[in-house]
Amino acid sequence: MALAEPKMQTKWPSWTASLQDRLRADVPLGPLTTLKIGGPADWYYQPQTVDELALVLTVAREHKIPYTLLGDGSNVLISDLGIRGLVIHNRANRIERRADTLHSETGALLSALVDRSRVEALTGLEFASGIYGSVGGAVFGNAGAYGKSIADVLTDVELLTRDGDRVHLSTAQMEFSYRQSGCARNGWVVLACEVGLVPGDQKAIGDEIDRIIAIRATKLPADLPSAGSYFKNIEDPTAEHGKVPAGKLLEAVGVKSLRVGGAGIYEKHANVIINLGNATAGDVLALAELMKAKVREAYGIELQSEVRFIGEPHQ
């Protein structure tokens, strides 16, 4: 997309001096998300390398500029009112093989990392096939499927601490849990990571990747914007993979007929909210509340959103 140039009346603040060559003002964010919803960013910067990512984060922190990290734009719902401060759209995406590990910068797509494992004939990452999002988003939210998660294959994580130090942490130090890591709690920003894999048969790896992608393709709309599964599955040690699918409960309470404004529910998966063409973030939030209420009333279970709402709060 063409990025908006700063408006003529925009006064460049002093903190922008080292970033002005690529800094943009008042950039629409909806087109950068898989839901195609969201207002503008006050300021927008797209780092291309890990060093640039660390630099812009340091500038924002030193000048106390509120900042928001954006990766692939999946699994997020951006406010209709936009995002104040600086949006950092991570595009550091280099991937390379190091022995039997794949080293990835966090702006890379998770799908690209899976594809590279196929090319290199390294097995262990097949479970992540077809999952939308960036590698950084996957680490931040401990993305996974089929009872496995990114935490199971990570061997090293490079991050920028709240104090501005670049450090390497082990998987155990990352404080992973179901769809969570220690990043939000500790103010960590993941810059790069390594996944430890095992040499395998390239055809078998490719066949498994293709099989899982085909399954996931039946659960997500190909022609309508969505953010993937909206609610987290419910932890239950007696269930398969230790989780009860939120979609199963939503299907049972009949949410597929619900619609608010331009937001509806995918006919093939009750846990997927879709943008029918003119949905607002307000529509999606209202629809999500209706879905939660139905499950709460029927089962006494409070669904937790997997999709993160970011930006200015709605009234």
Taking alpha carbons only, the member of 1, 34, 36, 39 closest to residue 278 is 36
229 is catalytic: yes
What's the length of the chain? 315
Catalytic residue among 104, 117, 181, 229: 229
Catalytic residue among 179, 216, 259, 308: 179
193 DSSP β-pair partners: 104, 157
- Which listed residue (105, 126, 158, 306) is catalytic? 306
CB-based burial label for 1 (10 Å; 0-12, 13-18, 19+): exposed
User: Is there a catalytic annotation at residue 129?
Assistant: no
d(CA 188, CA 167): 10
Concerning whether 177 is annotated as a catalytic residue, the answer is: no
Give the catalytic positions in this structure. Answer: 179, 229, 306
